[in-house]
Structure 1
Amino acid sequence: MVNTAERDRLGDGLGDRLEDRLGQRSDAVDSAADRLRPPAAQAGDAAHPPGAAPPPVAPLIALRDVRRAYSGSDGGPATEVLRGISLDIAAGEFVAIVGASGSGKSTLMHILGCLDRPSSGTYRFAGQDIAQLRADELAWLRREAFGFVFQGYHLVRSLDAQRNVEMPAVYAGAGLAERERRAAALLDQLGLADRATFRPGQLSGGQQQRVSIARALMNGGHVILADEPTGALDSRSGAEVVALLRELADAGHTVILITHDRAVAAQARRIVEIRDGQIVSDSGVRAPVAPRAMLPASLDPRRFRAAMTAGTAHGARPWTDMREAFAAAWTVMWTNRFRTALTLLGIIIGVASVIVMLAIGAGTQEKVIAKISSFGTNRLYVIPGGDNSRGPGGVLTEADVRTIRQVPHVVAVTPILRNKVMLRAGNVDAYVNAMGVTTDVRRVMNWNVARGLFFTEQDERQLATVVLLGKKTRERLYGDASPIGAYLLVNNVPFQVIGELEEKGATSGDADDDDIVLMPYPTGARRVIGTTNLNWITLLVDDIDNAEEVTKGITAALEATHRVRDFRVYNRAASVRAQTETQQTMTIMLGLVAAISLVVGGIGVMNIMLVTVKERTREIGIRMAAGARQRDIQRQFLTEAITVTLVGGLAGVLIGVIIGVALLHWEVPVIFSARAMLGAFACALVTGLVFGFMPARQAARLDPVTALASD
């Protein structure tokens, strides 16, 4: 039991603290209320100067012929629970509504607390017709005027006692320090200071009910609605709770006690009996109403509408709202760690897959482009033979090379004369491709010398019998030995090896560019191959963007000299561009395939959130009773979905980078893209937003009474 000293301290402390808070809050709405008051009210104020008798005080709560019926299941007849209730309750009264189970007293309490609406009749609170209030206005009224004490305590299981008590102040927009101080003070006054960090499951029934009372007082608790507050308690704990309610009534709170126990009801100053949905007796007020009713200026009928307008429009600051939502979301995630981990897995796999797939695609694309670049990305080829297979075969000559050199944007040209030849070095023979080229081939074909020298223009003029060997050709003829300065036979013609070409590691058509022998074009044409008719002409364009213009220029120039189109110009630049675009398309496809797993993860988030809404329906009802607006509930569950995807997105980026680094170690071509990482992370957040919206909206639209009654 709470001793007398403790009761006196509790009553005085609660009363003084509430008066201080209410005085501060009343100033905030005075000016707005005065501007919105009708002229009649202002005239009324002038008609009652100080010292004159005040006008009759309207009841705080006024019910007139209130009925509540519930539709029957499967189209059956409706069940009428309340049958014409008319009741007035003044500010500061301590009223007990007593009745047997099924009499309709709990339904009446839900209507009084604005958790439910009557089917017909009128309910006026502080002179305002409740039927005209929107959902957010009802939420404001619940957190501004009412404090609920339920038989089943209705504490949020995932929050400790301190956070449960703070809940109404969170939705009222109170600052963190202010609500922590007030919640701690209330718990201390109720003898629970050492239980502030305990969760409901760690508290006894009596302790949980005292936490519920502290929560009811958090925003002032001007009207305390206690529904069977002793029903689940032992006699000692029940007596303590009733004593607390009496002390609150003595402190000036309006206390409405719903009970079936007449001994408990006898503690009230007024007893209203209800039977079969109708009031059958009303004892009237047995004692004077407390001299100082705990009503703030916001509930004054003259100020009510202005205060409601201000309170509904303004809650906590956006940053405070966001911080509270994320803190609550993190608490829920941590409480259900295993399920959260399974939900995160889908997002992590999706984000990591997108990052790794795009990185592999980009790396592969870069590798392919590098391979293509080894052949020259701005290189063009002129090939004998027209587009029509039945037309003239066509011949390319040295004169055509000189013609092509005159075309604008052509920076280098080399004739290509190619044929198979037999090489013999000592007793080793090799059958390889021989190419007769000019010195421009180094620039056009990107051929450099690994060791030795390249032939010169003088060698071309003198028909010098010199050659350069590709790496594979050198290995076939000389092994690891250096061939520089050695002589070999090319189709039985002696040639001196003057250089070895750098390894290209690529092929051109059916020829391996490393298994080749190069010689000056005049030498090859006259001493080895025996013809000056070229296999093709290769040229280099100054810029890849000019390739199309050069193609047209060559076509026009050669047509003018040949007088027939017996040749073709192959634009390798266009081919490179097409291959690049194809590779980019493949990379995008890889990203899209990976994105599917991200969508699947998002569906998993939605599924889990729908289950969460189902499991936490009662919690939603508790939050609504504490004054949460629909958008508060929606933001809460939407934030939880976004938090899951946020954590999953960050983990997915980290794991994707780790996998990419491992692939680099295994020499898989990987190129990370900051844009891809940010894109995957952003997609994860959007996924949480999109797939979390429907469950959040469903939670926000729940009926408070139905939510509170859920298991």
Structure 2
Amino acid sequence: MVTPLIELGDVRKSYGGAGEPPVNVLRGVSLSIGAGEFVAIVGASGSGKSTLMHILGCLDRPSSGRYRFAGQDVTSFNADELAWLRREAFGFVFQGYNLIATESARENVEVPAIYSGMGPQARRARATELLSRLGLGERLDHRPNQLSGGQQQRVSIGRALMNGGHILLADEPTGALDSTSGAEVMALLGELSDAGHTIILITHDRQVAAKARRIIEIRDGQIVSDSPDAHDAKHEGERARAGVLDTKTLLASMSEGASHTASVFADVNEALRAAWRVVWNNRFRTLLTLLGIIIGVASVIVMLAIGRGTEREVIAKMASFGTNRMYVTPGGDNARGPGGTLDVADVERVAHVPNVAVAMPFLSGQVTLRAGNADIRTSLWAVSPEASRVLNWKPVRGVFFDAGDERDLAAVALIGKRVREKLFGAADPVGKHVLVNNVPFLVIGELEEKGATSGDADDDDVMLVPYSTGSRRVLGTTHLSWISVLIDQLDLAADTAQQIGATLERAHHVRDFQIYNRAASVKAQSETQDMLTLMLGLIAGISLVVGGIGVMNIMLMTVKERTREIGIRIATGARQRDILRQFLTEATLVSGIGGALGVLIGVLIGAVLIAANVPTIFSVRAILGAFACALFTGLIFGFMPARKAARLDPVVALSSE
């Protein structure tokens, strides 16, 4: 006995349930079809013939009963195995052609080969060959709307034959054709049957059914007649010899083929090609949807660039007054406590505290300066040679005094811009003498301009002299106004302040001093600026979320519009993962285009701001991060529509409008 190619045993199919009365469509159908048969299943509308075809083609599962393909129980196959069987064994020819409108005739024929893993050149050559054999060699690049009904049906037959077309399931193949085209299609099916293909024809037209070699009539979900020669042993032997389907080899390769088809690169490349076709065909709608992504990415780039530029400007301004600095001043926290004094020995103690780079004595006072006929009152700072580093203050003319000047009590000075303007006007002051409380000093340099610090204070209205000279020859005291401390690591500012306090408290046996941690305040201000920049980025990032919602909306709309296309792809062998990959690729491509446009616009806006002298600093990390977020947003928001598309019922999808 020859094992039937297809065998159904008491197959039943019903719809409904969950509170609704069940509708029984198939009521115990049993039949067997051998390899190479040309079978017509005929019945009126509502008889269950289309449902039977869906079950035979593995598009639907029976509610109960047995379905064996070459002796294997199909009802136990998983989704991937069913998809593989549709791809490798079956080919569908539909009444409505079910061609993908955006693809050419050749691309429609290639669809089953895409999911079987055939290379682009090979499937292109085979599709061209098939269409040429079907009389469409000059219509390869025409889209379905450019073809007649008969030509579209020939394309549908070519698609069914792409992967071999061992079993052709033709559902009312002549129903939408004129008589001439219908006759041509039936003649073609007859030729395919003679070539060894198994043809299962579903029709309500008995004249069409008469072209088959076996006729099965179905009524009210049951088989009511079968042609008498259906089980003729002689015919079965001939069909077995003529059949081109080697079922044993086919089923043996299922274990590998059901889980894998083409390479990942080929799959992604094909998904990108299809995605680009869809995006380009709907480019205006896609562009409108992308506005959220574009605005979001551009906003993130521009906001972060402005934030970084502003932060850099603020830090640079603060750096001109010294950033990593602390001040130790005499006098305790309690106003009624001991006043306290600081001297040079305390400077040495502070200098030995870990993380202290420089400890500088600072003594200030008011002095009278005279030069020529000019006579002014200004501030004098007696400092060490490290003042240039500690105060981050360099001369624009001349030089700073050095350790030798400090050791020799040299009468040398540097003056600020305001002092120079008051005493010498626009002239160069370097090399000129100034009387400081009637003590002659040589001006050896002019300090760079700093500007006002707070209130009426002006650091440019000041004179700097060596500490030894100022304390002994001008101000007459060695008690310091404060100790300026420069630290190495800003992050350790709080610990350093505690250690300085502990060191001086041990030496004084009382806490008769205070420590002002300017470094900590600078760090806090920098962190605050960072937080503000981050907030700007987060606010701009809201646009990305809005754009992501737009992507999800367009993808949901796309799934609804292309439901039939999804059904066609599933019928031609696409697995759920193939559909999921395709729609995720489309969502990611849409977001990627939006991200790229957003980066371009953001950089252009930043360039305009830079030209307008707005503090702006681009960050490559921010640009790449914004683009990556756009892609990630598309992936996240595109997943739900893609998942919905992948889980569509193929029968429902094919019947959608």
TM-score by length of 2: 0.90
Q: Deviations over 1:578-631 (max 9, x none)?
A: 333333333333333333322322222222212211111111110011011111
Structure 1 unmatched ranges of 5 or more: 1-55
Match of 2:154 among 207, 210, 233: 210
* 2:2 match: 57
Distance 1:93 1:454 in 2: 106
* 1:22 match: none
* 2:56 match: 112
Of stretches 586-595 and 476-485 in structure 1, the one that deviates more from structure 2 is: 476-485
Distance 2:528 2:53 in 1: 70
Q: Deviations over 1:84-136 (max 9, x none)?
A: 22222222111222222222211111111111112222222212222111111
Pairs aligned (count): 652
* 2:613 match: 667
Q: Does 1:701 align with 2:647?
A: yes
Amino acid in the other structure paired with 2:640: M
User: Compared with structure 1, are the counterparts of its residues 260 and 481 closer, same or farther at alpha carbon in structure 2 (3 Å cutoff)?
Assistant: same
* 1:658 match: 604
Q: Does 1:198 align with 2:138?
A: no
Amino acid in the other structure paired with 2:245: P
SS of match in other structure, 1:447: coil
* 2:263 match: 317
SS of match in other structure, 1:68: strand
Question: CA shift at 1:684, angstroms?
Answer: 2.6
Question: CA shift at 1:307, angstroms?
Answer: 2.6
SS of match in other structure, 1:77: strand
Q: Deviations over 1:638-665 (max 9, x none)?
A: 1212222233333333333333333332
Is the 8 Å Cα contact of residues 142 and 625 (structure 1) preserved in structure 2? yes
Q: Does 1:539 align with 2:485?
A: yes
1:299-698 correspondence runs (5 A): 299-300=247-248, 303=249, 305-398=251-344, 400-401=346-347, 404=350, 412-419=358-365, 432-454=378-400, 467-475=413-421, 478-484=424-430, 497-505=443-451, 507=453, 511-521=457-467, 533-541=479-487, 551=497, 554-698=500-644
* 1:177 match: 121
* 1:50 match: none
Distance 1:132 1:575 in 2: 72
Distance 2:488 2:639 in 1: 56
Is the 8 Å Cα contact of residues 41 and 202 (structure 2) preserved in structure 1? yes
SS of match in other structure, 1:314: coil
Distance 2:453 2:270 in 1: 64
User: Compared with structure 1, are the counterparts of its residues 167 and 550 closer, same or farther at alpha carbon in structure 2 (3 Å cutoff)?
Assistant: closer
Q: Does 1:281 align with 2:187?
A: no
SS of match in other structure, 1:322: helix
Question: CA shift at 1:409, angstroms?
Answer: 6.8
Of stretches 421-430 and 592-601 in structure 1, the one that deviates more from structure 2 is: 421-430
Question: CA shift at 1:145, angstroms?
Answer: 1.3
* 2:20 match: 76
Distance 1:450 1:578 in 2: 31
Question: CA shift at 1:389, angstroms?
Answer: 3.8
Question: CA shift at 1:494, angstroms?
Answer: 7.6
User: Compared with structure 1, are the counterparts of its residues 149 and 564 closer, same or farther at alpha carbon in structure 2 (3 Å cutoff)?
Assistant: same
Match of 2:186 among 220, 242, 253: 242
Q: Deviations over 1:142-171 (max 9, x none)?
A: 111111111111011111111110011111
Question: CA shift at 1:705, angstroms?
Answer: 0.4
Is the 8 Å Cα contact of residues 433 and 511 (structure 1) preserved in structure 2? no
Q: Does 1:263 align with 2:204?
A: no
Question: CA shift at 1:707, angstroms?
Answer: 0.7
User: Compared with structure 1, are the counterparts of its residues 317 and 400 closer, same or farther at alpha carbon in structure 2 (3 Å cutoff)?
Assistant: closer
User: Compared with structure 1, are the counterparts of its residues 710 and 469 closer, same or farther at alpha carbon in structure 2 (3 Å cutoff)?
Assistant: same
Distance 2:349 2:63 in 1: 98
User: Compared with structure 1, are the counterparts of its residues 95 and 539 closer, same or farther at alpha carbon in structure 2 (3 Å cutoff)?
Assistant: closer
Question: CA shift at 1:387, angstroms?
Answer: 2.7
Is the 8 Å Cα contact of residues 490 and 523 (structure 2) preserved in structure 1? no
SS of match in other structure, 1:194: coil
SS of match in other structure, 2:504: helix
Distance 1:550 1:268 in 2: 98
Q: Does 1:150 align with 2:99?
A: no
Is the 8 Å Cα contact of residues 322 and 392 (structure 2) preserved in structure 1? yes
Question: CA shift at 1:465, angstroms?
Answer: 6.7
Q: Deviations over 1:447-468 (max 9, x none)?
A: 3222245456787788777653
Of stretches 329-338 and 211-220 in structure 1, the one that deviates more from structure 2 is: 329-338
* 1:295 match: 244
Is the 8 Å Cα contact of residues 344 and 645 (structure 1) preserved in structure 2? yes
Is the 8 Å Cα contact of residues 162 and 180 (structure 1) preserved in structure 2? yes
Structure 2 unmatched ranges of 5 or more: none
User: Compared with structure 1, are the counterparts of its residues 393 and 333 closer, same or farther at alpha carbon in structure 2 (3 Å cutoff)?
Assistant: same
Question: Considering only aligned residues, what root-mean-square deviation do their CA atoms show, in Å?
Answer: 3.1
Distance 2:280 2:219 in 1: 47
Q: Deviations over 1:230-259 (max 9, x none)?
A: 111122222211121111112111111111
Match of 1:135 among 53, 56, 79: 79
Distance 1:542 1:134 in 2: 67
Of stretches 222-231 and 379-388 in structure 1, the one that deviates more from structure 2 is: 379-388
User: Compared with structure 1, are the counterparts of its residues 314 and 543 closer, same or farther at alpha carbon in structure 2 (3 Å cutoff)?
Assistant: closer
User: Compared with structure 1, are the counterparts of its residues 491 and 294 closer, same or farther at alpha carbon in structure 2 (3 Å cutoff)?
Assistant: farther
Is the 8 Å Cα contact of residues 80 and 259 (structure 2) preserved in structure 1? no
* 2:171 match: 227
Is the 8 Å Cα contact of residues 272 and 585 (structure 2) preserved in structure 1? yes
Amino acid in the other structure paired with 2:463: V
Is the 8 Å Cα contact of residues 463 and 522 (structure 1) preserved in structure 2? yes
Identity percentage of aligned residues: 66
User: Compared with structure 1, are the counterparts of its residues 179 and 285 closer, same or farther at alpha carbon in structure 2 (3 Å cutoff)?
Assistant: farther
Is the 8 Å Cα contact of residues 371 and 506 (structure 1) preserved in structure 2? no
Distance 2:404 2:77 in 1: 102
Is the 8 Å Cα contact of residues 326 and 485 (structure 2) preserved in structure 1? yes
Amino acid in the other structure paired with 2:582: Q
Distance 1:603 1:429 in 2: 73
Amino acid in the other structure paired with 1:612: T
SS of match in other structure, 1:468: strand
Q: Deviations over 1:530-587 (max 9, x none)?
A: 7654321223456667866764564345334433211123344444433333333333
SS of match in other structure, 2:189: helix
Distance 1:461 1:58 in 2: 113
Q: Deviations over 1:37-65 (max 9, x none)?
A: xxxxxxxxxxxxxxxxxxx2132222222
Amino acid in the other structure paired with 2:75: A
SS of match in other structure, 2:258: helix
SS of match in other structure, 1:195: coil
Is the 8 Å Cα contact of residues 254 and 293 (structure 1) preserved in structure 2? no
Amino acid in the other structure paired with 1:101: S
Amino acid in the other structure paired with 1:57: V
Q: Deviations over 1:659-708 (max 9, x none)?
A: 33333323333333333333333333322322222221111111110111
Is the 8 Å Cα contact of residues 386 and 567 (structure 1) preserved in structure 2? yes
Distance 1:577 1:175 in 2: 60
Distance 2:408 2:167 in 1: 114
Amino acid in the other structure paired with 2:47: S
User: Compared with structure 1, are the counterparts of its residues 183 and 476 closer, same or farther at alpha carbon in structure 2 (3 Å cutoff)?
Assistant: farther
SS of match in other structure, 2:138: helix
Amino acid in the other structure paired with 1:359: A
Amino acid in the other structure paired with 2:77: L
Amino acid in the other structure paired with 2:615: P
Distance 2:368 2:642 in 1: 80
